[in-house]
Copies of this chain bind each other. A is one copy, B any other.
Amino acid sequence: MSTMPNPPTPPNPRQNHLLAVLPEAECEHLFPHLEPVSLKLGEALYESGDRLSHVYFLTTAIVSLLYVMENGSSAEIAIVGNEGIVGVALFMGGETMPNRAVVQSEGHAYRLKGSVIKQEFHRSGALQSLFLRYTQALLTQMSQTAVCNRHHTLDQQLCRWLLLSLDRLPTNTLKMTQELIANMLGVRREGVTEAAGNLQHAGLIHYNRGRVTVVDRPGLEARVCECYEVVRKEFCRLLPDVIAVSPWAVSSSQHQRRQTDRD
């Protein structure tokens, strides 16, 4: 595995963990309709209120769900990577959502026409079960974001954000400016400067002009608030089949030293 974040790997739908665990029968219906797309940093997959045309199965890209306020400031509600789907409103039946989906880390994805997914969704047991469970996991991430915003320090929130992002990347380097991170977390850029400075002085991360590298993941995990673990555990619980094909149950529990005294 090289250090390049997005090497020109031949894209493969199975890089998306949800697609990876779909039974063969479902795949036969779905795969012919999958359309590979390349997602650029900052691109919006949908705007608030847009009628969605496709659902996106991310493979190497990361997408943030952002709520943009009337005055223009924003807050991230959830992060989606190759563990998930962007556009749940399509099969949830709501058609639109009151938030934006923007590419946080560029990469690839496959998309599927809304009509196709809706049709499949109504006849497919495995697909439905999988998607509903994913949605519940997403729901957990959202509610935990609310909790974290209320109770935890910016340092902790940055840790959580870094870990959530890292779990969705093949490397431990994030291409991201402090300005953008601030947008995601809904705080000032200067606040991120300070928090990131703290983490760097503690030897947990290293950063430089739009690149953040996590150098001590266990250290981050020791400093993050409980929110991260809640989200991760729910993912593992709800999507064990997905986790089996995913690197991150491992990459994350390898270092669970602080857990050993609890369960």
Contact = CB atoms under 8 A, between A and B. Distances in A.
Interface of A: 65, 67, 69-70, 73, 75, 77-78, 88-89, 91-94, 96-99, 122, 125, 129, 132-133, 135-140, 142-147, 149-151, 186-187, 226, 230, 233-234, 237-238
A144 B48 CA distance: 13
Contacts of A97: 136, 140
Give the dominant DSSP class at A's interface.
helix
Contacts of A226: 69-70
A147 B77 contact: yes
A53 to B, nearest CB: 18
B94 A238 contact: yes
Nearest to A77: B143
B149 A93 contact: no
Specify how many copies of this chain sit in the oligomer.
Answer: 2
Given A129-B93, A133-B93, A151-B186, A77 B237 contact: no
B136 A75 contact: no
Contacts of A139: 92, 135, 138-139, 142
12 contacts: A67-B144, A67-B147, A67-B230, A91-B132, A93-B132, A94-B136, A98-B230, A122-B125, A135-B135, A143-B146, A146-B149, A150-B186
